[in-house]
Amino acid sequence: MDKIQLKAYGKINLGLDVLRKRSDGYHDLEMIMQSVGVYDDVFIEKIEENKIVVKTDSLVLENEKGNLAYMAAKLLQDEFEIHQGVQITLYKRIPIAGGMAGGSADCAATLKGINELFSLGLSQEELMERGVKLGADVPYCILGGTALAEGIGEKLTPLPNPPKASVIIAKPPISVSTAFVYGRIRPEQLGKHPDTKGIMEALEQKSLKQLASLLFNVMETVTIPEYPIIEEVKQFLLAEGALGAIMSGSGPTVFALFDSEEKARQAYERLESANLTEQLYLTEFVDRESYWK
């Protein structure tokens, strides 16, 4: 095998709670992760020269050492003393620095791709052990589907597939730094927390209504006062008939759940005309069974 093509899916958080700041500076989190059908295309091919080349269609991303796909390839190349180079080409669709773990998804796809391309024989668990060295969300991006993530995001428990829904993903034309959000969040002062157990019950019962009513992300307490356009996008989608709409991760991307594809399509078209977004997608959840397919 000389080349491989993978889909690196983005994630949303159906619930996101920050429990406490740890002494090492990280935060203990409790998140319900869900893959969605917005993905980057990741092509990996063997090349003659013994080096790692990364190409992307993004003007803002680093192509070399700062790219998480590069770091993933380098980690495996070093550990397994691989002396043949690779070229990795990324076609980005997941909003960059959007709260959808796009970098971690590309990293996970590269680990997976290199493992297959060079027949390294690493199991999913072994790939996840290596992934966590590159980012807290990488193990989840290797697993995919629906999962509870605890610790800094690396302790994973697979959950039942969600009910079917139409999902709008809307990124406002602003940049929010993850460091800014984590630097400002005060877990001890948060009035409201997501009902994580309730979300897990809604998944168990396949109730979209219940699930949508429980969506909650504590990071909004930091981002929305600073960037009111996030609230504007949420309200727009709710007024268009979404059952629920919240920000994903540290933002600024907002997602909304609909029980009717027709309503979702209409909301998509109206939001597109409203000039509130830079990237907009109408998609669905991706189950673990369809992940990496």
Q: Cβ 177 to ligand ATP, closest distance in Å?
A: 8
**Contact mark string toward ligand ATP, 69..88, x via CB under 6 A:** x-------------------
- Please provide the size of the chain in residues: 293
- Of 103 and 131, nearer to ligand ATP (C-beta) is 103
**In what helix (H) or strand (E) does residue 12 lie, and over which residues does it extend?**
strand 3-21
67 touches ligand ATP (CB under 6 A): yes
Alpha carbon distance 135, 247 (integer Å): 21
The residue nearest ligand ATP at its CB is: 103
Active site residue 137: yes
E-strand spans in 22-154? 27-47, 52-56, 85-91, 146-151
- Per CB under 6 A, contacts with ligand ATP among 140-199 are 178
Alpha carbon distance 151, 232 (integer Å): 32
Active site residue 2: no
100 touches ligand ATP (CB under 6 A): yes
Alpha carbon distance 240, 219 (integer Å): 24
Q: Cβ 68 to ligand ATP, closest distance in Å?
A: 4
Q: Cβ 250 to ligand ATP, closest distance in Å?
A: 5
Q: Cβ 253 to ligand ATP, closest distance in Å?
A: 8
**Which amino acid, 93?**
R
Q: Considering only CA atoms, which of 27, 33, 207, 16 is closest in space to residue 104?
A: 33
29 touches ligand ATP (CB under 6 A): no
Alpha carbon distance 14, 200 (integer Å): 10
Place of tokens 């709670």: 17
Question: What phi and psi, each to the nearest 5 degrees, are found at residue 180?
Answer: -60, -45
- Of 82 and 96, nearer to ligand ATP (C-beta) is 96
- Of 115 and 208, nearer to ligand ATP (C-beta) is 115
Q: Which of 53, 96, 229, 280 contacts ligand ATP by CB under 6 A?
A: 96
280 touches ligand ATP (CB under 6 A): no
- Per CB under 6 A, contacts with ligand ATP among 105-134 are 106
Q: Which of 250, 254, 256, 286 contacts ligand ATP by CB under 6 A?
A: 250
Please name the residues in contact with 187: beta carbons below 8 A apart, sequence gap of 6 or more: 18, 19, 20, 21, 27, 218
Q: Report the DSSP pairing between strands 85-91 and 52-56.
A: parallel
Contact region with ligand ATP (CB under 6 A), list: 16-24, 102-110, 121-129, 278-286:
102-110
List C-alpha distances in Å: 145 to 12, 41, 177: 10, 18, 26
Catalytic residue among 112, 137, 171, 234: 137
Alpha carbon distance 180, 172 (integer Å): 17
Which of the residues are catalytic? Answer: 11, 137
Binding region for ligand ATP (CB under 6 A) = 61, 66-69, 90, 96-104, 106, 137, 178, 249-250
